[in-house]
Structure 1
Amino acid sequence: MLQGKIALVTGASSGLGYQFALTLAAQGAAVAVAARSTDRLAELVTKIESCSGNAMAFSFDAAEAAAPDALIEAVAGSMGVPDILINNAGINLSARAHKATLDDFEQTMAVNVRAPWRLSQACATRWIEAGREGCIVNISSMLSTRVAKGVSLYTMSKAAIRHLTAGHALEWAKYGIRVNALCPGYIRTSINDTFWETEQGKAELAKLPRPRVGEPKDLDSALLFLVDPNSHFVNGEALTVDDAQSWAI
């Protein structure tokens, strides 16, 4: 489905990004994987190559203002300008609203909003100048339209991503650039895996319509739908994949 395409996935060293990279590579895309943890990226590249895929690792710290431009330049120089951008890198600095610090705010906005904004802009500029079409998928959250205690900065940043997605889609549609958002519900990753076994985690699960969390692979079909060239009429959409969890919050 994606033969001949180059895909860039940020935050690819673990969790959703790791799975996204495997999924895109399995569909024939050459995948540029980017994150701070280069050891895990090397492992991911090896895994993709062992399945006859094509991948290359790039160091990327989304908190650094200059990092997005440097990353696009590096990928373009080594693999070519990406056809697909998956803005997945993100952080969640949990803190009660009245205890969150200015540093918490600035770091959250830098990683979760500024980096996707600049990466999207850098790719779109190259696509427009070259007369090429392109595809962007921003990873938002089911909490982009809901709120929860202790994560107000995170929910604010993910709401911003929904509007960033819509705004970019509106302006760039005429150039053949599609921009959509994927909004996952609770997904089990290495970061939160142990939480779901705690009493608090079990209590959270009990509130859900179906007391379970998803696995990263549960997002595969939605991701592939959004990047599929046949989905050329899907633009500016925020696709929630959460097993109806958001309606219980």
Structure 2
Amino acid sequence: MADLRGHLALVTGASSGLGHRFVQVLAAHGAKVAVAARRADRLSALVEAVEAKNGVARAFAFDARDGAAPDALMEEVAEAMGVPTLLINNAGIHRPGKAHRNTAEDFDDTMAVNLRTPWRLSQLCAERWIAAGTQGAIVNVASMLAFRVGAGVSTYATSKAALQHMTASHALEWARHGVRVNALCPGYIRTEINEAFWETEQGQAELKRLPRRRVGDPEALDTALLFLTDPRSHFVNGASIVVDDAQSWAI
């Protein structure tokens, strides 16, 4: 298993869902974790849970829709905990709807959270790593929809496809500096945000289309996350790892 002692991980969108799980997994494998999200009450509880298991975590208020937030967050984290060596760009939003019904606000908000914020945070980390001559790793949480689209998810799929392409571009440019950039592309994962959907008639119909008639739990991503953050994966760069139980071939 990965040994992340000596690393500081910054995880966005940490208050629930995948980010909540990522924080616990990274902390359990020795990383100190800066947890960032909008819901401060959720972050406090998460920090307490990490500390109860002898881990180290600290909460930072962060609104990924705010264009100035990444710079402010990086300064706060650097001052309080040091410069991150691992960046998990997990914060994301989804505004479902038919392509001809999505509004300009839907588009702008989705791109701000799913693409602009990961771009800026990646840039801020890479600048610091390159200037200091140190190595670092970035994991961008994309989606199986970066590769295969479905109906009603046009704006979201577009943002994730762009994130996947940005991942490869950053990996190419920064590889010579010892900076690794990879994408983790989940399939359908059950979280508190979508849990009710899977019990609806539409959700049940969607389940029947999937190869194994199931969705994953956040724990299903543990090994892929650890693989991408493990220093021993130093030759894995510019990759997009799809973890979807073959769902993308059915949508």
TM interval, shorter chain, is over 0.9
Matches within 5 A, 1:89-108: 89-108=91-110
Given candidates 152, 156, 167, the residue that maps to 1:150 is 152
Q: Which moves more between the two structures, 165-174 or 146-155?
A: 146-155
Matches within 5 A, 1:112-131: 112-131=114-133
**1:111 aligned counterpart, secondary structure:** helix
Separation of aligned partners in 1, 2:72 and 2:170: 21
**1:201 aligned counterpart, secondary structure:** helix
Matches within 5 A, 1:98-247: 98-247=100-249
CA shift for structure 1 position 150: 1.1
- Which letter does structure 1 place at the counterpart of 2:195? D
- Which letter does structure 2 place at the counterpart of 1:32? A
**1:188 aligned counterpart, secondary structure:** coil
The aligned residue for residue 68 of structure 1 is: 70
- Which letter does structure 1 place at the counterpart of 2:244? D
The aligned residue for residue 82 of structure 2 is: 80
Given candidates 32, 35, 55, the residue that maps to 1:33 is 35
Separation of aligned partners in 1, 2:74 and 2:137: 15
The aligned residue for residue 20 of structure 2 is: 18
Separation of aligned partners in 2, 1:45 and 1:183: 26
Identity of aligned residues (%): 66
- What is the number of residues matched between the two proteins? 249
Q: What's the RMSD between the two structures over aligned residues?
A: 0.4
CA shift for structure 1 position 151: 1.0
CA shift for structure 1 position 32: 0.2
Separation of aligned partners in 1, 2:30 and 2:194: 30
- Which letter does structure 2 place at the counterpart of 1:72? M
Separation of aligned partners in 2, 1:185 and 1:175: 31
Given candidates 59, 62, 68, the residue that maps to 2:61 is 59
**1:4 aligned counterpart, secondary structure:** coil
Separation of aligned partners in 1, 2:245 and 2:103: 33
- Which letter does structure 2 place at the counterpart of 1:47? A
Per-residue CA deviations over 1:15-54 (Å, capped at 9, x if unaligned) read 0000000000000000000000010000000000000000
CA shift for structure 1 position 106: 0.6
- Which letter does structure 2 place at the counterpart of 1:79? M
Separation of aligned partners in 2, 1:2 and 1:38: 26
**1:192 aligned counterpart, secondary structure:** coil
- Which letter does structure 2 place at the counterpart of 1:128? I
CA shift for structure 1 position 147: 1.0
Separation of aligned partners in 2, 1:38 and 1:95: 29
Structure 2 spans left out of the alignment, 5+ residues: none
- Which letter does structure 1 place at the counterpart of 2:49? K
Structure 1 spans left out of the alignment, 5+ residues: none
